[in-house]
Structure 1
Amino acid sequence: MRSEQHTLWLEPYLRDKEVALQKTSRLGEILGQTHGEPSLILFVGKSSKSKALRYLATPLRSKRNGRHCGEIHLRLDAGAQSIQSRRPLLFADGPIPNVENNVRDTEQCSDLEPVSQNLQWAGDDLNGTLSNIYANLLSPFTDIVCLFLSDFGGLASIADFIALWLNNFSNRSLPPFCYPRLLIVVEDSTTTKSDKCWESRWKTKFSRLLRKKTTSPINKAFSYVGIHHLFTNDQIREEFCYLPLKDRLLNESDAVRFSRIEQRMHFVGKHFNAFFDYAYNHFIQNTGKHFNFIRASRLSNPVSPHFKRHLLNFVKQFQTAEEINGFALPVVASCILLDSFPPGMHGFDPVKIFQTLYQTSWRKAMEVFSRATRTAILPIEEVIGELYMTKFVTSREGFKQSHRHTVLSFKDTWKDIHSDSTCLMCLCRRPEYGLPCGHSFCGIDIQRFGTVLDNSPHRFTVQSCFLCSQDTQGAQFGFKPKTKGVNVLGIDGGGVRGVIPLQSLLLLEQKLKPYLPEFPVQDLFDVAFGTSSGGLIVMAMFLNGLPVTECVKVFENLSHKAFDRGFVSSNSIFSRLRELLISYFADSLYSAHNLEEALRTQFGDEVSLMDHSAATSRGAKVGITVTGVPNAELVFTNYNGVGSRLSGSGYRHVLSDDSSNRVRVWEAARCTSAAPWYFRPHHIDGVGTFQDGGLWRNNPIDIAISEARALWPTIVEPDVVLSLGTAMATALHDVQQPRGLWRSGFITRCLESFLSTMDGQKFYDLPNQWNRAAEEIKNRYFRLNTQLQGKTPALDDVSTMAPLKFETRKQYTKSKSLDELAERLISTLFYFELTSRPIRNRSHISCQGQILCIIGPGHKEDGKLLRLLNSLTEDGSKFYVAHRPLSGPINSPANIDPVTKLFRVKVELRIRDLDSLIPISLRIGSNKQSMSEGRNISASRFTVNGLLEAQGWNNPFGRADHGPTEPDDLTRLARECKGASKVAKRRFHGQNNNTPKRRRS
């Protein structure tokens, strides 16, 4: 917003007999058009103050007629060069606390576009609140507090005002010598020259008066008190009278700036604005705690809540002070520096950061050692300071490069240190990805230290282990784009009936074929869970990367091997009795030998769930349900249980704590397929004994959705949810079944009761299992299940696989639900991200963005993207933004980046506010459907606020993954301003801290 628009910044007022405080976006608007590190000067007074500001600052403009008492306005230095200056000078213009008449209705301030919150702790005391705003909200950001003697009516009234300030002051967020300076302006037309003695007399008089008002010393809130003589004379042009005051203000400001620069507490514009927003929220809440700049800088990127546990996991592997000093200390110090200084972070003192955020965890970790050992351990503050100076300040390495070099310097030591419960690269998170050497890393470190692959910002390759430097054979890792939603797949268990979901997937691939020929259907899903046979399918497709056609062959072959009884079975009572006796005495009807041999062949003997796989190369999260013996509801996953889950989820993850006891893929498959009666439970050394997950969740789709929310907490609902069943039976109630010992006996009833619990369709049909009440959410959920007449086939009846495949194809070949599902999946290949920050205009907010596609140069066949775009264009498909079509064909050459070859469609947005819902959809085949049937692209409908948060642009102090926090043009601007503090320091060098020198702006 330009400077000629309203200047109102803060205003306390009465609302419902309670003080409320409004804050407009004025500060951000000013700093958005300036460079460098701002200085704030607070003017408090009446007419004399306003007269001075007419010559020092840009004009005051309010959006209302007249000015209400209590308003604090914010203006820029009147000099035309201020916007381009490396030290923009800001003037806050506030009244003397005497605002009894400032009682208004909320309707009177509705045109201010403010953030307004009640101060429940303030009651109805407007004067006390205004003084509190000065003393505790504005003070940490202010260089000078300037008071005009004539406005207050005398020095005694100023002493009253400052005494109230000192009594209210509780914000010790800065060192005392960084506190603002107090400057009292004395207007006098008789005195032609002021000297040190003149100023000293006034200061002595003021100190004497202040001591009568309060016992608090002046240095409790101010670093210096000065008296400025403002000479007024009718024979001199009025604006010239204020030039000496301007010089004095600039020199006093330089003194404060120099002190804050020395303490690393002086901020660039975007940090200044962000800190003030945090301080405003802190002031509103009035928690009783001091505002802390270091803690505030980590509000959007907090220190891991598990850092203490991970630090303890690491240090307890060592026994002696020599090991700690020689290895652990440098590694921990480097990890702390890496976590403390992501790109964009303010350059705080690293030792103070440690003392504020990490010291408690370090002291707790040191308690595992004896007193003698602790005494011999070097102070970690010294190690942090030395590492900061040698690696960053002296060598000018970035913190990421410095950390990489530090840990690699111990590569031989790392070969004997492994952990699957703590990422040893950062000591902040649980690892998710295992490498061949046995080390494992979190996703953040894969993104920070990996190499971007094929120009795609979401795919990385790791050529060698970050710790021991062992070759990884080119392991690749994919990550979901931050503004993309998720598609979820769940496959029921059902023994040989697993051919039904496989046929459903084949039919889905056929529907997708005109647009995505030879595109693996599993690449359309971000999360996939399976139970029993469904688990085998999920692991084969996602972990091994097998196409569906190959999965069908593998599954049928495995079924024939697993369900080979070694004798001819029949329905006679003697055959059933033999099965019962075998199952009872052998603990299973079938030997596990054939099943295990087939699983080892398919998944490998030593491949673990954490190892690199086809799933990790594209970022898919895979899980299977199992049941612990004797009774526990558990899941195995390929991501080591990472994520944020609410307590009471009802199930637990089977976790790996060390590379030596990782769960191998074939064993996980063996556990989930160990259906009681058919196969005995499977025991994994050091982990536990497990059996079929269908005993507690044969339909795992709700687990898959729950895990998607745990992995990406900002996603409210998935884009597409596909649940695949393994047949549902239509009971023949009109046929009376004859009773008999075998047909309706106790054992048969128990077995049928167990099989009934494994009916995934019953679970899906239960009310309140899904958040599907809203119509716009219902159409995201799909359930494909083949309906059979009579009972469903037995889990081991391999003779029914061919008829089941035929029946499935018969029922779904012309299914409209498959058509809709295919269209929705195609639409979710596209997602939207911002390319500029929103700009507020008078009637709307505008911003720019782009529609992207997850198919890009990272896929093996370069023609897949072009084939998709050409097919969409040929049938008249179009993107719609807010129900308006985008011009031009989808396959336009302008939509392909000439360098990266990525798909990008530029979009201009005009919205009412940042929380307005924005729909972007894809109409596939415009001649076939109405606009109402357009399919939302991924994560649509979204808000600009949501996009800013997802893209990390609300993190002005940096992101954990070291990703961008602003558009490229703003990043360049920040780099241009990096030298601002050096300029201020050079200018002030040699000046006395208490004796101002006159200067011209």
Structure 2
Amino acid sequence: MTSINNCNHTRWLRLWRKGKHIMLEASDRPRRLLKDFRNVDEPAGVVVLLGNQTKSIANFKPGNSQLDRKKSNGEYHLYASYLHDARPMIICDGDMPGHNRLPRSCKLQSCHQVEDRIFMEETDSAKTVEASDNIYHRLISPFSDVICIFVEDVGGIDSTLRRLNAWSRCSQLSSTLFVRPALILVTSRGQKTQIENAVNAASLNDYFQRIRIVTVCRRTRKLRSRNVKMKPKQCLALRREILRSLDIIQQSRLMAGMLFCVRHTVEFLYTASEIVTRSSCEPFDYINRSRDNNPIATDFVKHLTTFLCYFDDENMKQLALPHIASSIILDQYPPGMHHFKPLDVFNTLYREGCAQASENLKIYRQESGRPVPNLDISSLIKAEMHSKFSKFEELGSSKELHLYNLAQFYENGIFPSCGESCFSCLQRKPMYSLPCGHWVCQICVKIFYSPNTGDPWLFYVNKCILCGVDTAGLRIRVKPDTATTRVLSIDGGGARGCIPLEFLQALQTSIGLPYPVQRNFDVVYGTSSGAMSTCALYFNGWPIEKCIKYFEQSSREAFKKRRLSQVLIHLFGYIPILSPTFRFIVSLLVDSKYSAQNLEIIQQEVYGTNCSIVNSREASEMGISMGVTLTSTDDTSTFIVTNYGVAGENREKSGYYFTPHHLDGIGTFQDGGLTFNNPVSIALKEAAALFPATPEPSIVASFGTGSNRTSYRGPLTWCKGLYLARLARAVRKHLDSDNAWAQLMSNRKPGDRGEFFRFDVEFQSQLPALDDVNSMVKAARIARKVARSSAAMKQLGKCHRAELFFFELDSSRPPHFVSGVYECVGYILCRLRAGTAEFETFMRQLHDHSASFRFRFQEGMLPRAIQGLSETDPTGNFRQEIVFSLPTKQHHFEISLEEGSPASICHISGSPFSLDSLIKQQNMDAKFGTKDHQQPVTIKN
């Protein structure tokens, strides 16, 4: 990797011509300024110097010779400097063009990230000056505290006033929260009276808060010589006026809540140069721009309306509205956010949403026959937010403020519970149900609960933040931000449901690590018998061996015939001609072939009578999102029941084989296998919805319950051509799990991420019936034989081993553009944690197998070996540093694990990567705070 050298380039913006377009070149110079300041969280002043010659007398930093350099027409430079009292200051150094010439080529700086965009169309010779005015009005004046113009350098009094009048005549302010800057005009002594009269006639006070004229001797222009070491007294007068004006404007910014620190100022400058070419008229919106990487939830109004519907007018005013105001402060002011005035924030971001929620509440009250609220809800929330802001500043944390306000509910009433909205933040759908019945989202888990010191993805949820009730040691695991999902889908198949369990046991052997196999997945879905297996594995957390025994026992109990059926079949059902038809008629008469009572008794013994799928501690601690499918008896619509959302109970209810079951308030449901016997497509959609930052899974494993490939292609007999026979064949094809898998694979495109595996057993003879419990032993034996000889099963195990690793960029050393490439530092990390048997075993196996990582960033390029699998962090956990460079942020690179002999090479989780995706997943561009309240990272030089 090339060493990072500090370059001397200071150019930020540059105008140049390309055909009929005026182009704007913008570099990452604002962000590069951070390394030049001692404390980036101190308030920073912005001083603009316009002129090419006499402005050298305003040099604020001894030895800062860049200000003495003559700049090309249309260039704007940024420097860091400090005042005499050590206050940080950003100097913007530019010129106002006195002619219409612009360069027609763009000399790139290979040490800076530079982007060129069309700034405006050029139709006449005046466009160069107009472009310059646009730069100052839209990119410089919104952030300027003091604008110092050296009149002689920019063409004299007339030229200066033309430009000032052009700025002041702009139809819109340059920003939504505009603090007028100070203007200092530097001229020769003989022109002071003339320029004073001209300025007074121009009426510039609406644009500038303070206007001062400073005179200098004409001889001062000679001071730009580097040999001059002393400045005359008249130059010190200019410095004093700049400092005095800076103090006044910064005090105005402080009163307006617009005094930004260095870190925020440079980010606004960088952002402004990105968005200025998108719109030629919109003013710069500080508040919205600060939320670019953490936007308001799109369904905020829905969650707010849902919450308001739980309260009458009195409790709404006393409890609900203060909580809403607190949740807005929680959302708006994470660590690292500038403390904008709360009223400005409310009017900009939340006013319309609160007003819409108020209207929705009125409609709800009218439709439910309740009195319409006699409250101005939006205004009351605004007032509450304003009153709570001082408490927020006193506590220094919006999280602490929210906890303080939530505690008021503990004494004043019971906090409502809802599975559709997280009532803690009012921003997202909830994901976790706590023992008390309240729901919280994953973001609130990250904000309010502490992670394990050695396992940063395992959070201790010791009590409910909404009611204060103890959770008896609940722990919730979250997926690492850059890791991709691993999906498991288990088909339905009645007694043949033992087959997927045998496959899982074989997978556990293939992985070869001492922990339960179910921990190797993030999203799991099951149908019918697959749902039973899913619940046993994840709801109970049973080892696979116990699940196999439980499944056999429960199947034999579940498939016991009804007493009435046994009597009727004993009397009439053994007549050879009538037997099949008679058995079918009996099942219709009694609504199903088997009663669900036996199965329910077994499940109640295992799970309890009042247990719900959402209350699984085992699944929460494993970090598993699980679901089962149901089919409505009304219109055969498919429903899913999950542990991350309230949709129903956890016990599967079956259709033809088991009587339908009614869930109060929801409907009557039957076997989910009637529509989705292979739920893999549902699992993939849910995985993408649950983890939008990593929507493509890295592993998809689908386990079938047996199939029969024999088919008769000869002439149809008369009975096979009948309508009922044809209908039966069509239904069987619709329910064929292999067809569902084939359809899924046909929709995959070249280059799609992920390894997809389908495991099934092909029976040579007749496929065992769903209720044939006597065939389970044989089916299990065949499944074990298939799994042992399956190369795909061995490959799946190797993929899972590689998936235990993932990659993160070093947030303290973000990608740095130098010499035409991005130089990067990151770490390969491991999901398994030090001190556990599985971690020690895994590390020992990798050492014995001479394992190594492979890095590749270009197709066809030989991978680079990364040795040193023994590297650890201070806590003993695995952490392998990688230093590399890439030509662009969009360029993909791969990291793979190579182990064994013959060697297997498998992607680690998330691979292939790109810098863009990693930066987004890790919130490295969120300079104004993250939604999960991560602490700002100090950037290392």
1:744, CA displacement in angstroms? 6.9
Q: Is the 8 A contact 2:678 2:737 kept in 1?
A: yes
Letter in 2 for 1:679: F
Change (3 A) 1:366 1:19: same
1:590, CA displacement in angstroms? 1.6
Please say if 1:263 is aligned against 2:256: yes
Partner Cα separation in structure 1 for residue 94 and residue 713 of structure 2 = 87
| Seq. identity, % | 29
What is residue 660 of structure 1 aligned with on the other side? Answer: none
What is residue 479 of structure 1 aligned with on the other side? Answer: 478
1:873, CA displacement in angstroms? 0.8
Please say if 1:854 is aligned against 2:834: no
1:66, CA displacement in angstroms? 9.3
1:206, CA displacement in angstroms? 2.3
What is residue 386 of structure 1 aligned with on the other side? Answer: 387
Partner Cα separation in structure 2 for residue 808 and residue 920 of structure 1 = 34
1:521, CA displacement in angstroms? 1.1
Please say if 1:718 is aligned against 2:697: yes
What is residue 436 of structure 2 aligned with on the other side? Answer: 437
Change (3 A) 1:570 1:22: farther
Q: Secondary structure at the match of 1:21?
A: strand
1:708, CA displacement in angstroms? 1.4
Change (3 A) 1:759 1:26: same
> Structure 2 length as normaliser, TM-score?
0.89
What is residue 794 of structure 2 aligned with on the other side? Answer: 819
Letter in 1 for 2:341: D
Change (3 A) 1:29 1:758: same
Q: Is the 8 A contact 2:210 2:245 kept in 1?
A: no
Q: Is the 8 A contact 1:338 1:400 kept in 2?
A: yes
Q: Is the 8 A contact 1:723 1:783 kept in 2?
A: yes
Q: Is the 8 A contact 1:627 1:696 kept in 2?
A: yes
1:87, CA displacement in angstroms? 3.0
1:754, CA displacement in angstroms? 2.2
What is residue 72 of structure 1 aligned with on the other side? Answer: 76
What is residue 489 of structure 1 aligned with on the other side? Answer: 488
1:737, CA displacement in angstroms? 8.3
Letter in 1 for 2:640: F
Change (3 A) 1:301 1:550: same
Residues 366-445 of structure 1: matches in 2 within 5 Å?
366-367=358-359, 368=361, 373-374=374-375, 379-389=380-390, 391-394=391-394, 396-415=395-414, 417-445=416-444
Partner Cα separation in structure 2 for residue 378 and residue 179 of structure 1 = 29
1:200, CA displacement in angstroms? 7.1
Partner Cα separation in structure 2 for residue 85 and residue 487 of structure 1 = 56
Q: Secondary structure at the match of 1:253?
A: helix
Letter in 1 for 2:933: H
Change (3 A) 1:107 1:2: closer
Partner Cα separation in structure 1 for residue 596 and residue 377 of structure 2 = 56
Change (3 A) 1:33 1:943: farther
Please say if 1:839 is aligned against 2:816: yes
Residues 98-177 of structure 1: matches in 2 within 5 Å?
98=98, 100-105=100-105, 113-119=113-119, 125-168=127-170, 170-173=172-175
Residues 293-312 of structure 1: matches in 2 within 5 Å?
293-312=286-305
What is residue 31 of structure 2 aligned with on the other side? Answer: 28
Letter in 2 for 1:218: L
What is residue 20 of structure 2 aligned with on the other side? Answer: 17
What is residue 788 of structure 1 aligned with on the other side? Answer: 763
Q: 1:37 aligns with which of 30, 40, 43?
A: 43
1:454, CA displacement in angstroms? 5.0
Q: Is the 8 A contact 2:20 2:122 kept in 1?
A: no
1:44, CA displacement in angstroms? 2.4
Q: Secondary structure at the match of 2:763?
A: strand
Change (3 A) 1:850 1:392: same
1:525, CA displacement in angstroms? 0.5
Partner Cα separation in structure 2 for residue 170 and residue 849 of structure 1 = 45
Partner Cα separation in structure 1 for residue 70 and residue 147 of structure 2 = 25
Letter in 2 for 1:9: W
Change (3 A) 1:613 1:578: farther
Q: Secondary structure at the match of 1:420?
A: coil
1:917, CA displacement in angstroms? 2.3
1:784, CA displacement in angstroms? 1.0
Please say if 1:881 is aligned against 2:855: yes
Q: Is the 8 A contact 2:641 2:649 kept in 1?
A: no
Partner Cα separation in structure 1 for residue 152 and residue 312 of structure 2 = 71
1:964, CA displacement in angstroms? 3.5
Residue-by-residue CA offset, 1:735-771 (whole Å, 9 max, x unaligned) = 888765xx77654543443232211111212376442
1:31, CA displacement in angstroms? 2.4
What is residue 649 of structure 2 aligned with on the other side? Answer: 664
Residues 239-278 of structure 1: matches in 2 within 5 Å?
239-241=230-232, 242-278=235-271
Structure 1 residue runs of 5 or longer lacking an equivalent are: 192-197, 211-216, 642-654, 657-662, 974-1001
Partner Cα separation in structure 2 for residue 2 and residue 265 of structure 1 = 34
Residues 577-616 of structure 1: matches in 2 within 5 Å?
577-616=581-620
Q: Secondary structure at the match of 2:214?
A: strand
Partner Cα separation in structure 2 for residue 817 and residue 289 of structure 1 = 57
What is residue 537 of structure 2 aligned with on the other side? Answer: 541
Please say if 1:290 is aligned against 2:264: no
> Structure 1 length as normaliser, TM-score?
0.84
What is residue 366 of structure 2 aligned with on the other side? Answer: none
Q: Secondary structure at the match of 1:803?
A: helix
Q: Is the 8 A contact 1:732 1:790 kept in 2?
A: no
The more displaced of 608-617 and 500-509 is 608-617
Structure 2 residue runs of 5 or longer lacking an equivalent are: 363-370, 857-862
Partner Cα separation in structure 1 for residue 583 and residue 373 of structure 2 = 67
Residue-by-residue CA offset, 1:386-414 (whole Å, 9 max, x unaligned) = 3222x3334x3522122112111221444
The more displaced of 958-967 and 682-691 is 958-967
Change (3 A) 1:955 1:572: farther
Letter in 2 for 1:543: F
CA RMSD of the aligned region, Å? 3.1
What is residue 367 of structure 2 aligned with on the other side? Answer: none
What is residue 927 of structure 2 aligned with on the other side? Answer: 956
What is residue 368 of structure 2 aligned with on the other side? Answer: none
What is residue 732 of structure 2 aligned with on the other side? Answer: 755
Letter in 2 for 1:59: S
Partner Cα separation in structure 1 for residue 316 and residue 744 of structure 2 = 57
Letter in 1 for 2:914: T
Q: 1:863 aligns with which of 834, 837, 843?
A: 837
Residues 59-98 of structure 1: matches in 2 within 5 Å?
59-60=65-66, 68-77=72-81, 87-98=87-98
Letter in 1 for 2:17: L
Residue-by-residue CA offset, 1:205-244 (whole Å, 9 max, x unaligned) = 3222x3xxxxxx4233221221111124489958514333
1:725, CA displacement in angstroms? 1.5
Change (3 A) 1:911 1:4: closer
Q: Secondary structure at the match of 1:240?
A: coil
Change (3 A) 1:175 1:636: closer
Letter in 1 for 2:540: N
Q: Is the 8 A contact 1:488 1:526 kept in 2?
A: yes
Q: Is the 8 A contact 2:110 2:819 kept in 1?
A: no
Q: Is the 8 A contact 1:414 1:468 kept in 2?
A: no
1:547, CA displacement in angstroms? 1.7
The more displaced of 705-714 and 151-160 is 151-160
Q: Is the 8 A contact 2:676 2:735 kept in 1?
A: yes
1:488, CA displacement in angstroms? 1.0
Q: Secondary structure at the match of 2:325?
A: helix
1:772, CA displacement in angstroms? 4.6
Q: Is the 8 A contact 2:613 2:650 kept in 1?
A: yes
Letter in 2 for 1:664: E
What is residue 872 of structure 1 aligned with on the other side? Answer: 846
Q: Is the 8 A contact 1:419 1:440 kept in 2?
A: yes
Residues 564-713 of structure 1: matches in 2 within 5 Å?
564-566=560-562, 567=566, 572-640=576-644, 655-656=646-647, 663-666=648-651, 669-670=652-653, 674-676=654-656, 678-713=657-692
Please say if 1:331 is aligned against 2:327: no
Q: Secondary structure at the match of 2:840?
A: helix
1:706, CA displacement in angstroms? 1.7
1:377, CA displacement in angstroms? 10
Letter in 2 for 1:163: N
1:156, CA displacement in angstroms? 2.0
